[in-house]
Amino acid sequence: MRRPWGIFLAGALLLAAAALFPPVRFHRLRAERPAAAGFQAPAYARKFWRERLLPAGERAAPASEVLAALRRDPAAAEKKYGRTIGDSDTRYFFFQGTGTVVADGKSGVALALAGGGADLIFPTGFLFGNAVRDASGLLDPGAFANSQDFNAVAAELNHLVETRVLPALRDGARPGRRLRFVAAAEVDPDDGPARPLPAVPVEAAFE
Amino acid sequence: MTPTLRPLRPCLLVLAAFAALAAGLPASAEGGARPKIAVIISTLNNPWFVVLGETARARADELGYDATLYDSQNDTAKEAAHFENAIAGGCKAILFNPTDADASVANVRRAKAAGIPVICIDREINATDAAAAQILSDSYSGCVREGQYFVEQVGEQGTYAELLGLVGDNNTWNRSKGFHSVVDRYPGLKMVAQQSADFDRAKALEVMESILQRNPAINAVFCGNDAMAMGAYQALVSAGKDRQVKVFGFDGADDVVRLIAQGKIAATGMQFPKKMARQAAEFADQWLKGRRDLPQKVPVKVDLVTAANVARYGDYGKKP
């Protein structure tokens, strides 16, 4: 007569043990997906801009030195000042300096670093490409689980330039005004370094 | 170790080190079976991927390995079975073109757990701690350039369609987002249809026929790869609209490069499959010889190919 109670007790103990230490656990598959699903490119780009890119601008190479080197010997200049991402012959340059506005037209604001013609041109329309993201060499594509996130950062950084830098540049540009800047440029070997060299300003302030 | 053997200890250690090193290296021509490498490709139903897979296999062969090519047929279950076979078959490394950026991660982790390095080619997986390295087309940047050229060619007013690739592949979205990061800035350019054709030529032909029935007056079609561009172009020729609708592809496939030279397709992005495949085989070889500092992701630049520079391209690359 005592056996049914024993079986019941043993079964109850087994159920309790299974509840406390389940032999199988069920997970939602989506929860196992990489954290990239929650990546917020605008917030990441703003933080990068504020905490890393702008401080790096203070240590950027002098623009006059970079441009002179590019004109003298592009290959040597690329080696000394250029950066590249992955397997590419495109070179990015990050520099800072002061120049004089020599023209303000549809294609952008043209700047002369010394006397003479324009050395740089800052386009003031839509921005495309990766110069702002890649020229400083601060971001590694291998740190991003999903390359869509890395690419979204490039678009967001361009957006920051369009909204934070370009409006004041467009409004204040007059021939003869002096401008302090930090800028990023992209040079494609098939085209060579253009003169004036197109560059994207990440900082621009009139003196 | 007995006292008589003790003086030989340094020599034995050196011999043991050489033996251990040799275990990871390709066998010499005289010495036994060559180590195996698996080349697992998402699909071989597309000439571009055939070039990718065959080049990886050929380079692995040159480096002293016995390389086998597997076709996943865009099916993650088949891909998983290929990984099982490669692991069970004693492969030393896997050169891998994934089918799905998320679903393929588990396969790579399984190989890693078995001590087998995986080098991803062209397509990525959404993890940075599973593959030994990933060599990837910089599809986004390539499509930013192609988007700019699209606006130059089509103008700032018009209607267009977009054919997407496999929705589970990051390249599909990197291409689409790169293109739209430019084109969407021009409100006069209206996208009237966006449909997936799975990177497949035959599906693209059907999808394009259907799009043309609903939107007979479109000005352009942007295709996420060249196989779809060829399918779309075929549909346009059949409908007599190949002169009206500008076709933009992506890959750098030989047939599309030829059609660009003939003025029939507007542009493509050259992805350099041979370069990526060779690099992947070399990375695997370096890993097996002890290198552990491979870069996790190597974006490979994509060149815009148009009528202006098409003479410089062909055979899935840039002419020397």
ipTM score: 0.83
Which residue from A59, A61, A48 is spatially nearest to A157, judged by alpha carbons?
A: A48
DSSP per-residue letters across B217-269: T--EEEESSHHHHHHHHHHHHHTT-TTTSEEE--B--HHHHHHHHTTSS-EEE
The total of other beta-carbon atoms located within 10 Å of residue A14's CB is 10
Q: How far apart are the first and last CA of chain A?
A: 101
Q: Compute the distance between CA of residue B36 and CA of residue B117 in angstroms, rounded to an integer.
A: 12
Residues 6+ apart with CB under 8 A from B292: none
Measured CA to CA in angstroms, residue B15 lies from B19, B32, B290 at distances of 6, 19, 18
Alpha-carbon separation of residue A117 from A100, A196, A201 (angstroms): 10, 8, 19
Q: Which residue in this structure is represented by tokens 């992701």?
A: B297
| CB pair distance less than 8 Å for A129 and B141 | yes
- Crossing angle of helices B139-154 and A147-160, in 10° steps, is 50
Residue B269: name the closest of B122, B144, B146 by CA: B146
Between chains, do B298 and A87 touch, taking CB under 8 Å as contact?
yes
pLDDT digits (tens, 9 = 90+) for B129-172: 999 999 999 999 999 999 999 999 999 999 999 999 999 888 99
At CB < 8 Å, which residues of chain A contact B?
33-34, 36, 85-90, 126, 128-130, 141-148, 151-152, 154-155, 190
Distance of alpha carbon B236 from alpha carbon B233, whole angstroms: 5
Q: What does the alpha-carbon distance between residue B53 and residue B177 come to, in Å, rounded to a whole number?
A: 27
Contact B279 A87 (CB under 8 A): yes
| Token pair belonging to A136 | 């400083």
Nearest CA in chain A to B145: A129
Tokens 């599309």 belong to which residue? B256
CA–CA dist B183, A65 (Å, integer):
36
Q: What is the dihedral of CA A202, B295, A69, A65, to 10 degrees?
A: 40
Alpha carbon A95 to its chain's center? 15
Closest by Cβ to B298, choosing from A86, A128, A152? A86
- Matching residue, tokens 């070889």: B285
**Whether pLDDT at B44 is above 60:** yes
Interchain pair A147, B135: CB under 8 A = no
Distance CA A80, CA A69 (A): 9
Q: How far is A204 from chain B (nearest CA, A)?
A: 24
Q: Which residue of B105, B177, B300 is in closest CB contact with A87? A: B300
CA distance B232 to B246: 10
Residues 6+ away with beta carbon under 8 Å from B91: B36, B37, B38, B116
Say if the Cβ atoms of A151 and B296 lie within 8 Å.
no
pLDDT the model gives residue A6: 67
Pair type for strands B36-41 and B93-96: parallel
Task: Write down how long chain A is.
Answer: 207
Record: contact B178-A88, CB cut-off 8 A = no
Judge: A85–B140 Cβ closer than 8 Å, yes or no.
no
Q: Which residue of B has its CA nearest to A127?
A: B182
pLDDT-based confidence at B21, cuts 50/70/90? very low
A178 to A168, A172, A175, B89: CA distances (angstroms): 14, 10, 9, 69
- Would you call B297 and A85 a contact, using CB atoms and an 8 Å cutoff? no
Report how far residue B281's alpha carbon sits from residue B37's, in angstroms, rounded to the nearest whole number: 9
Q: What is the pLDDT of residue B6?
A: 53
Q: Which residues of A touch B148 (CB under 8 A)?
A: 128
Mean pLDDT of B249-265: 97
Of all helices (H) and strands (E), which one includes residue B135? strand B133-137
In chain A, which residue's Cα lies nearest the Cα of B309?
Answer: A190
pLDDT in tens, chain A (207 residues): 445 666 666 666 666 665 555 544 443 333 333 335 689 999 999 999 999 999 999 999 999 999 999 999 999 999 999 999 999 999 999 999 999 999 999 889 999 999 889 999 999 999 999 999 999 999 999 999 999 999 999 999 999 999 999 999 999 999 999 999 999 999 988 777 888 999 999 999 999
d(CA A3, CA A10): 10
To the nearest whole Å, the CA of B150 is away from the closest chain A CA by: 14
Of B124, B144, B181, the CB nearest to A147: B124
In terms of Cα–Cα distance, which of A45, A133, A149, A153 is closest to B127?
A149
